[in-house]
């Protein structure tokens, strides 16, 4: 626990978030739940989350990495929780105890929100609460989840999904995205941004965003390309033609195109569009910027170009994105 941490159940009065512990616990998945919901955050006020862990089976319990666990409570704590998180599971073929399914169904019936990270989707799907809905999990578990639970639709692409207050997320890092999304819904964009800054991760990635790329993410570019990318991010409104980029790097056009592709995994044009869309998302997250001003600031030049590229990348128009973002923030 960080040196500035204090038990959140003592210092806070907000929703009780509980993480389930089991033998063979996925350590990273549990760690991110504890970090988001359990870390002492006095700047958030007394309404911040209370956090505790609860064992769903008798000990001794072990976690990946050789840890022995000391849970805060036993399974009875599930009956009091407002948020219940399943941080992974023992394996795709490991049965989920019926008693746990019953408890989770009862918690959901009284209004609790249920969440899973990565293989934890097997636990929530076993409750039957996701029948007829869509479930997200790590792409490597998607086929096994489909075979075991034909009553659900498995989304092997999205970062996270929601179905009737039951949230499922993909790989471990996607769990961070889901938890920050929950913070945003509960406490607003400023709180989510604060948590994200402390974790040094993006403040908002929509659940529909793809969970993996078709090609491996390259290492951070070095040499002439890396400084160029930094300059482009700082001056998105400039007319960055491919020829101008090549001149900036003091390369021939042919050499530049090859090295840019090797460094970033995309063409200069595609990379620049993606950066401009991300910058537009940040500006659209408030009422302070007119759509025309957003288009000019990020370098699209016209609202038509902004709408075209934004919808292609995000699946929403800029106006729809802003409306949804602000609506969720105000109803959180």
The ranges assigned to domains in the chain are 8-199, 225-331
- The answer to whether the 8-199 and 225-331 domains have the same CATH topology is no
Q: Domain 8-199 has what CATH class? A: alpha beta
pLDDT value for 43: 86
- Taking phi first (over 0 means left), then psi (-120 to 50 degrees means alpha), and beta for anything else, what does residue 24 get? left
Run of H or E including 271: helix 268-284
As a whole number of angstroms, the distance between CA 73 and CA 164 comes to 27
Closest among 238, 229, 317, 312 to 275, alpha carbons compared: 229
Nearest-5° Cα angle at 216, 214 to 220: 135
Q: Which DSSP state fits 36?
A: I
pLDDT value for 221: 46
pLDDT value for 156: 79
Is the pTM for the entire model greater than 0.95?
no
15-48 per-position pLDDT tens digit: 999 999 999 999 999 999 999 999 888 888 889 9
3-state SS string over 150-197? CCCEEECCECEEEECCEEEECCHHHHHHHHHHHHHHHHCHHHHHHHHH
Residue range 225-331 in CATH 1.10.10.60: yes
């Amino acid at each position: 626990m960080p040196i500035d941490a204090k038990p959140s159940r003592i210092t806070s009065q907000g929703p009780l978030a509980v993480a389930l512990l089991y033998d063979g616990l996925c350590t990273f998945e549990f760690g991110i739940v504890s970090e988001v919901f359990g870390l002492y955050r006095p700047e958030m006020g007394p309404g911040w989350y209370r956090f505790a862990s609860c064992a769903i089976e008798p000990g001794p319990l072990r976690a990946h990495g050789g840890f022995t666990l000391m849970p805060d409570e036993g399974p009875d704590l599930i009956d009091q929780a407002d948020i219940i998180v399943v941080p992974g599971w023992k394996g795709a073929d490991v049965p989920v105890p019926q008693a746990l399914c019953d408890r989770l169904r009862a918690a959901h019936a009284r209004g609790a929100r249920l969440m899973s990270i990565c293989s934890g989707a097997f636990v929530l799907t076993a409750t039957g609460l996701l029948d007829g809905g869509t479930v997200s999990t790590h792409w490597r578990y998607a086929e096994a989840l489909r075979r075991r639970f034909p009553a659900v639709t498995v989304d092997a692409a999205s970062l996270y999904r929601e179905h009737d207050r039951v949230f499922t997320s993909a790989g471990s890092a996607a769990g961070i995205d889901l938890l920050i999304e929950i913070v945003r819904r509960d406490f607003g964009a400023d709180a989510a941004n604060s948590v994200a800054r402390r974790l040094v991760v993006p403040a908002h990635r929509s659940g529909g965003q793809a969970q993996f790329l078709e090609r491996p993410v390259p290492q951070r570019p070095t040499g002439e390309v890396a400084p160029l990318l930094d300059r482009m991010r700082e001056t998105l409104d400039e007319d960055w033609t491919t020829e101008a980029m090549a001149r900036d790097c003091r390369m021939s056009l042919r050499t530049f195109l090859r090295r840019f592709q090797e460094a970033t995994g995309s063409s200069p044009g595609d990379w620049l569009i993606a950066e401009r869309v991300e910058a537009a998302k940040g500006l659209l997250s408030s009422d302070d910027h007119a759509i025309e001003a957003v288009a000019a600031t990020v370098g699209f030049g016209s609202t038509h170009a902004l709408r075209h590229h934004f919808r292609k990348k995000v699946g929403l128009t800029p106006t729809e994105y802003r409306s949804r973002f602000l609506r969720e923030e105000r109803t959180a």
